Amino acid sequence: VRKKLEPSLGQMPRSKWLATIVRDAPLMFDYRPYQVTDAQIDAAQRMLESLEFRVHTKRLPLVLGPYRQGGQPNLFSEDLVSVETEKSKVSVGRVSSYEDVIAWIGDRHAAAFEHTEGAAVAVGLEALEVEPKTLSRLVAERGGELAFHDSKAMLRKAASYVVPGFDAILSAYVLQSARSNYAIEDLAQGYLEEQPPQSPAEKASAISRLEKPLTDRLNLEGQWKVYAGIELPLVPVLAEMENTGVAVDVGMLEEFGKSLSVQIGQIEQLVYELAGETFNIGSPKQLGKILFDKLCIPSGKKTKTGYATGVEVLQQLAPEHDICREILNWRELSKLKNTYADSLPKYVAADGRIHTTYAQHVAATGRLSSNYPNLQNIPIRTETGREIRRAFIPAPGFQLASLDYSQIELRFLAHHCGEPALVEAFESGTDVHAVTASLMWNEPVGKVNREHRRYSKMLNYAVLYGVTDFGLANQLGGEFTISEAKELIKDYFERFPKVREYIDTTLEEARSKGFTTTICGRRRYFQDIYAGNRVARHYAERQAMNAPLQGGSADMIKLAMINIRPLLESKSTRMILQVHDELLFELAAGEEDLVPKLKEAMENALPLDVPVEVDASLGPNWLETKS
């Protein structure tokens, strides 16, 4: 550090001088052309209040003060340049016994907060610091009456599976699902317009006082039913699932990892032979030099750091170049080994089960996410990847039951657009992809060839997710050019005009309102729907097209989980895992008659204009569940 500083000692004062703002410059400014009347200021305040710019409403008199008729302008007024929100003063007490806490709360609606720095309960601006064990007992006995910030974590810790009285995170999430942060400090600044709370007592007080503005906002925006009817009742369901966990065969994972190591080693040797030398296969820079400089494979695209060697590039080259195909295999097996075979055993608790954490407030679509570890990314598309599921097993005396929604987003599409061909396919139980192929290639449904059905399946899902002609051409593995893929999409919309109409109507809603809604009323906002950047705008449009479908299916499975809970109350069977459109149960011996009831609860969770179907299967592990 000294060597770096010494040569610059003479430059430092000059740098400081350059960076220093001159605050006593002899500036002359004529405010007279910009003077405003009291009536104008009042009108501006009413306008800001109507738009709910509460902070700006408070600042307005200070900002416009120098321009008021008859006022004394002062451009460098401290009041003008330094306007801060105040921190509400919380009166804090402390009690030692649980009974004293109960007596202090009385019949009031209290909020609870606990973190590493301590625990507290509060009612408005009054708070009590309490022992963590006292708060845990309060949550266990009165969790349904309390307000929280992240209720699930506290209910899970207390093993109290009740619907919480209020949850600040969930209410803020329903209002703004695209936010990346719902910290209590940010919510207090945004909804209470005060400086961030610091102590546990201040945070508990903030939670207590957040309930009214958040509740008012939910009602004002028509989001109360989503919050109170879906998100809040789901909390105890998820808390219980997390505490129950899912059993894992660690020995099977270890053996699978060893098998993968052997396969990875064999592929490495083959890649080295094809390349004519050894190199680091995991290094994009080295791989690019081998593929495009040494082997002179065409289509090499230069980036700032070298050649592009992503999955899309290699997939295009794989049909004609063995080395590209083997590198893709190497990447798949390496990911399976590192992400699953080697990592999952580290998450197995003393009870032999993995206890993942479900987050309700992460995905803007309304879907749940899974962390520590992420069990929603367990592979399903490749045969080798599916082997991971063999390690998920039931406890002794149980078997696994998998209940999975069938083509649920396509059913939502048929419900929303009312396209006769799609509706008829679902009502008659006909293969919807075969129906699509029949219309696209003018073939009888019963004689649709395998390739045309595969193309139609890709088309159906490409439409669901707003895939471009370029994207569809890539998905089709180079079998179609971009212009041919574009023609396919055009033909699809000509044969399914109601789908085109639905997409246009949905995009118009997003452009006019800034958001779209699901059947249940869940909103998703799209800030970039009018972005000047073409890529950002098109991405927002694709999200808007899919939001009512993916969000609707998320609402459906959440409602199903809520409705299933009463069916399991007096049973030994347990709901242990949720993965997108699938629920996994540990089915107790002798309780097989539950399966039709679980299936019915899922199918009737959110009625559509087309039939909803659930595939149910049983087995000794997740992979081998069979109908």
Task: Encode pLDDT of 30-63 as tens digits.
Answer: 767 788 888 888 899 889 988 888 778 888 888 8
Q: What is the pLDDT of residues 148-194, one digit of tens each?
A: 999 999 999 999 999 999 999 999 999 999 888 899 999 999 999 88
Q: What is the pLDDT of residues 486-501, one digit of tens each?
A: 888 889 999 999 999 9
Residue 64 has a pLDDT of: 83
Instruction: State both tokens at 61.
Output: 């008199």
Residue 57 has a pLDDT of: 85
- Give just the sign of the alpha carbon dihedral 277, 278, 283, 285: negative
- How much of the chain, in percent, has pLDDT values that exceed 70? 96
The span from the CA of 111 to the CA of 166, in Å, is 9
Residue 497, preceding bond cis, omega within 30 degrees? Answer: no
The span from the CA of 231 to the CA of 174, in Å, is 8
Residues of the chain below pLDDT 50 = 73-85
The span from the CA of 555 to the CA of 458, in Å, is 25
Residue 596's Cβ-count burial label (10 Å; 0-12, 13-18, 19+) is exposed
Q: What is the pLDDT of residues 203-255, one digit of tens each?
A: 999 999 999 999 999 999 999 999 999 999 999 999 999 999 999 999 999 99
Residue 244 has a pLDDT of: 96
Residue 82 has a pLDDT of: 38
Residue 42 has a pLDDT of: 87
The span from the CA of 340 to the CA of 346, in Å, is 10
Residue 133 has a pLDDT of: 93
pTM for the whole structure? 0.84
Residue 544 has a pLDDT of: 94
Residue 627 has a pLDDT of: 58
- Looking up tokens 């409403």 gives 57
- Looking up tokens 């009612």 gives 123
Residue 84 has a pLDDT of: 45
Mean per-residue pLDDT of the chain: 90
Residue 316 has a pLDDT of: 80
Residue 76's Cβ-count burial label (10 Å; 0-12, 13-18, 19+) is exposed
Residue 443 has a pLDDT of: 87
Residue 75 has a pLDDT of: 45
The span from the CA of 130 to the CA of 118, in Å, is 8
| Cβ neighbours, 10 Å, residue 23 | 6
